[in-house]
Amino acid sequence: MIPAQTQDSIEPQPVIRLCGHDLLPLAEGALWWAAQSTLIVSDLHLEKGASYARGGQFLPPYDSTATLARVERLVREKRPRQVISLGDSFHRRDSAARLSDDMVARIRALTAQVDWHWVEGNHDPDPPEHLGGTPCKTLHLGRLVFRHEPSGEKGEVAGHLHPVARLAGRGKRLRRRCFVSDGNALILPAMGAFTGGLNVTEQPFEDVLSPDRQVFLLGQTRTYQVPASRLVPDRAQKPVWRFQG
């Protein structure tokens, strides 16, 4: 459970301020930019379960439905003018072609009602044209730039690293997805139901964010800013490696 001192009645919902813009991190792992009526999601990895099943690793085939349902609910609630999907929306190059007719219809319904942007990712460098929406490598809006792989550029909003935070305290440890920002750039958690995560204390985050970074943990109904002093690594020593998303 989230510690009592971070309950809604005591601590207000945190807002991430980036280059003069106020961004609201949501419990679903999406980002809401009210001033631009823009919903930002990242790393949906649709059809990941089906991809694993074809490789002989059988997982419940409900990840795409569960992930898309979260996006649909946020679109209904927020009624955005546009949606930005920050890459790896599909787990493989051929994942979109393997979607069921129902999934295709649901995605097309979303892209028909909002201005939808598919940012290219390393898993899906060629976003599918038949699902609607507009593909792009990067997208500039206001003083922000949206791309899949983080570089640390000022005003950058990215995904790819699937950030998670592990907290220690009161004899218990908690590990959850999170947003992480140093005020210069921001990295979103993965929204995909079957996506794993990389601890924010690992080297890839140090490569693109300053040490003075903030972590916003996903709760059941809201997000919580947690102090850096409570963050602990998953391993005793940090390996040097490149995350593949």
Residue closest to 161 by CA, chosen among 151, 174, 171 = 151
CATH number, domain 18-230: 3.60.21
Look at residue 99 in the predicted model and tell me its pLDDT. Answer: 80
**pLDDT band at 3, cuts 50/70/90?**
very low
Say yes or no to pLDDT of 169 above 90. no
**Alpha carbon 17 to its chain's center:** 17
Query: Residue 231's CB: how many other CB atoms inside 10 A?
Result: 18
Q: How far apart are CA 187 and CA 222, in angstroms?
A: 17
Q: Quick one: tokens of 168?
A: 């220690």
**pLDDT band at 196, cuts 50/70/90?**
confident
Query: Residue 183's CB: how many other CB atoms inside 10 A?
Result: 15
Question: Cα 57–158–86 angle (5° rounding)?
Answer: 60
Say yes or no to pLDDT of 23 above 80. yes
Look at residue 120 in the predicted model and tell me its pLDDT. Answer: 92
Q: Report yes or no: 152 and 184 within 8 Å, Cβ to Cβ.
A: yes
Look at residue 173 in the predicted model and tell me its pLDDT. Answer: 77
Q: How far apart are CA 65 and CA 230, in angstroms?
A: 34
DSSP code per residue over 74-134: HHHHH--SEEEE-S--BSSTTTGGG--HHHHHHHHHHHHHSEEEEE--SS-SS--GGG-SE
Q: Which of 89-103, 121-135, 149-163, 188-202 has the lowest mean pLDDT?
A: 89-103
